[in-house]
Amino acid sequence: MPSKPAHRTQPPLSWRIFFYLLGFAALLVLLLWLFQIVYLDTFYRKVKINEITGAAAIIGHNIENINNEELLSLMDRLASERELCIRIYNLSVVGNNERLDDVFAYDADVLPGCVIHHLSLAEVAYFYNSALDAEGPYTQVISGDYLRNRTYNPGFFFSRPTVISSGESMILSQVFNTSNGDEFLVLLNLKLEPVDATVHTLRIQLYFITALMIVAALVLSFLISRGLAIPITRINNGAKRLAAGDFSVSFDGKGYRESGELAQTLNFAAAELSRAERLQRELIANISHDLRTPLTMIGGYAEAMRDLPDENNAENAQVIIDEVKRLSSLVNAVLDLSKLQSGVAQPHFTEFDLGELTESLVENYRRLLTQEGYKIIYEGSGEAWVKADQKRIEQVLSNFINNALTYTGPEKDIKIRLSNLREKVRLEVIDSGVGIAAEHLNEIWQRYYRLEGAHKRAAHGAGLGLSIARQVLEQHNAAYGVESEIGHGSIFWFELPLLP
């Protein structure tokens, strides 16, 4: 049985998004739980301590104004704004064994059940000493139970508070000195509300929030994954058709930018695939045509030589040899191109004189072809040293010259021109033939490309020559091109940097 494809075992997009959202929701709920429930009381106390020490600091700042109305009205304002009560003792006037009533004190009292107005001397002394020890604000929380169960003897609590709240009281004591040596004890009292009831309510709310979050994560993940997946599914269906060989498929990536880009890339790939397939088909047709003709010739001549004693001569043997050469050059071209394209054939750079190479190549052509009426002219200006793969450059040059010879006009003349430009050398192969229409100028460099009707037997290769040239020149980072006009011949050229 075939094993499941790997992607089948992976969770779908919707699940993945759902788990991410669920994780996010869990994090939120956890944070809410920690802050609203577990640490609510701690936070509340921190806030209250800040409030009460802040108020003490303000009073401390203004303690010099103790004898005028300014401080008293400030105390009233603080007391009502922050819901606390304030008592300030002028300790400089406290004598031994004095009752607290006799001590000079300033009050702001807005809090029912306030504790600091009912402290005994011992209690005041306790807070005074604690503040001195703390060398700053000293805070203490006293529970309602503690207050209620206290035995109110005059030695400790001076009198029973009229209302004792069930909650806790926070008391602050701090000692301030004025510039004229007076010492003041500031007592502040603030009620702490119990947070239990709030926590209970919040906990119930959190249950609801948790349930809502799970539902929201489900719905959102469904919506998001649908939005993400629809274009992908559409493109996937198209890709399946493409894989099955339907190159007419058009990809639609509507949805978001990434899907649009993916569709565009796939459309391009489909067009390229379809073009490559068409060219491949044409190549096979061309190559089989090019293979069949020499093979027929070879077969025919060999049979004639075997059967007819008269035909068994050197000319017929030469025909067979020529056709075999043609065949092997075709096969070599196909091999060359596939090696160049697969990157197996790395260029082998050497320094050589392009002028000399061209001149001797042209000389060879001239020797072979002058009899057939070809006029091959070389226009060169001496040496031109370059660093390149000599064999490959020679191949490019031969391809250009072969094409020029093939496509040149009835005058049968071609020109090879080598010009030394400032830092580079330019090589041009010029013919006076049919020329190439502007719309084909780019296509002729494509592999297997042959112009309609250009397929004649004299042609070398099978539409591979220029594409081999292009591969080689691109490997050399060389500039190359063609200038041509219908009926006015063509100029194929390339440029290589000159060695200093």
Q: Strands, E, within 98-156: which ranges?
A: 105-108, 138-142
List 444, 472, 478, 496, residue binding ligand ADP (CB under 6 A): 444
Which of the stretches 127-135, 218-226, 373-381, 446-454 binds ligand ADP when contact is defined by CB under 6 A? 446-454
List 434, 472, 473, 478, residue binding ligand ADP (CB under 6 A): 434
Q: What six digits make up the tokens of 369?
A: 């072809």
Q: Looking at the DSSP assignment, which residues form a beta bridge with residue 416?
A: 378, 429
In terms of residues, how long is the chain?
Answer: 500
**Which of residues 310 and 372 has its CB atom nearest to ligand ADP in the complex?**
372
Site residues for ligand ADP, 358-417, by CB under 6 A, read 399, 403-404, 407
The yes or no reply on residue 238 touching ligand ADP (CB under 6 A) is no
List 116, 397, 465, 472, residue binding ligand ADP (CB under 6 A): 465
413 Cβ partners below 8 Å, 6+ apart? 374, 375, 376, 377, 431, 432
State the first-to-last Cα distance of the chain, in angstroms, to the nearest integer.
Answer: 68
* Residue among 359, 353, 490, 493 at smallest CA distance from 414: 490
For ligand ADP (CB under 6 A), the number of binding residues is 23
List 66, 376, 401, 462, residue binding ligand ADP (CB under 6 A): 462
DSSP structure string for 279-329: HHHHHHHHHHHHHHHHHHHHHHHHHHHHH-GGG-SHHHHHHHHHHHHHHHH
**Which of residues 246 and 485 has its CB atom nearest to ligand ADP in the complex?**
485
**Which of residues 51 and 323 has its CB atom nearest to ligand ADP in the complex?**
323
**Which of residues 66 and 414 has its CB atom nearest to ligand ADP in the complex?**
414
Minimum Å distance from CB 407 to ligand ADP?
Answer: 3
Q: Looking at the DSSP assignment, which residues form a beta bridge with residue 139?
A: 172
Residue 218 CB: number of other CB atoms within 10 A? Answer: 14
Residue 378 three-state SS: strand
**Which of residues 70 and 485 has its CB atom nearest to ligand ADP in the complex?**
485
In the complex, residue closest to ligand ADP by CB: 465
197 Cβ partners below 8 Å, 6+ apart? none
**Which of residues 246 and 379 has its CB atom nearest to ligand ADP in the complex?**
379
Site mask, ligand ADP, residues 468-497, x = CB under 6 A? ----------------------x-------
Minimum Å distance from CB 374 to ligand ADP?
Answer: 14
**Binding residues for ligand ADP (CB under 6 A):** 399, 403-404, 407, 431, 433-434, 436, 444, 449-451, 454, 459-467, 490
